[in-house]
């Protein structure tokens, strides 16, 4: 699993670094399955309140090589969670279904990348079950979920790999 950190242009770099969606509380969470990086994101304008009649969210798959090139210079933390072959197949099947048809809308007050990733991990028993509302309230933005997963990593001896971002951006802190 990968957590991209939120950021804003560092002082003196406002003209050369662009603003990113979400600023310091932005960022993104995605899962890696083999050479595929899968994350939940909005298509077009983000809804304020979830509208499951016209969902605008979708799961996007990217190959690892492209993702690696796209994240050069970005701050991110990767957590390697060992799973059984059965759990790996379960999450692969689940995300394959989600890639075909999104199960929910992407909304400010609704499911977003952190809650959607939690949802997938919940299905294979990595995290405790929460109601859907609890997922998006508890993990309103990626930093909250990252802190939870770092704590879980320490408790379960998961491997954590950190990548520093460029100094021309101010990155969110732990």
Q: Using the predicted structure, report yes or no on whether residue 132 has a pLDDT greater than 90.
A: no
62-72: average pLDDT: 95
3-state class of 137 per DSSP? helix
Tell me what pLDDT residue 54 has: 79
64-87: average pLDDT: 95
Q: Using the predicted structure, report yes or no on whether residue 73 has a pLDDT greater than 80.
A: yes
CA separation for the pair 67, 50 (Å, rounded):
28
Tell me what pLDDT residue 87 has: 94
Instruction: Quote the pTM value.
Output: 0.92
148-155: average pLDDT: 97
Tokens 């809804």, residue located? 47
Q: Using the predicted structure, report yes or no on whether residue 50 has a pLDDT greater than 90.
A: no
CA separation for the pair 152, 160 (Å, rounded):
11
Query: What are the phi and psi torsion angles at 76 (to 5°)?
Result: -155, 160
* Residues in a beta bridge with 109: 49
Tell me what pLDDT residue 26 has: 86
């Amino acid at each position: 699993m990968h957590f991209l950190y939120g950021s804003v242009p560092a002082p003196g770099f406002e003209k050369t670094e662009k603003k990113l969606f979400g600023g310091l509380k932005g960022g993104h969470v995605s899962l890696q399955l083999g050479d595929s990086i899968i994350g939940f994101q909005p298509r077009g304008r983000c809804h304020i309140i979830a509208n499951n009649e016209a969902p605008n969210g979708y799961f996007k798959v990217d190959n690892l090589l492209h993702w690696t090139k796209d994240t050069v210079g970005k701050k991110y933390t990767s957590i390697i969670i060992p799973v059984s072959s059965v759990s790996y197949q379960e999450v692969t099947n689940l995300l394959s279904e989600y890639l075909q048809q999104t199960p929910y809308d992407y909304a400010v007050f609704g499911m977003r990348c952190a809650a959607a990733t939690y949802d997938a991990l919940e299905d294979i028993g990595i995290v405790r079950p929460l109601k859907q509302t609890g997922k998006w309230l508890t993990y309103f933005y990626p930093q909250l979920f990252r802190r939870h997963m770092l704590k879980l990593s320490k408790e379960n001896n998961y491997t954590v790999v950190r990548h520093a971002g460029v100094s021309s951006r101010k990155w969110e802190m732990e």
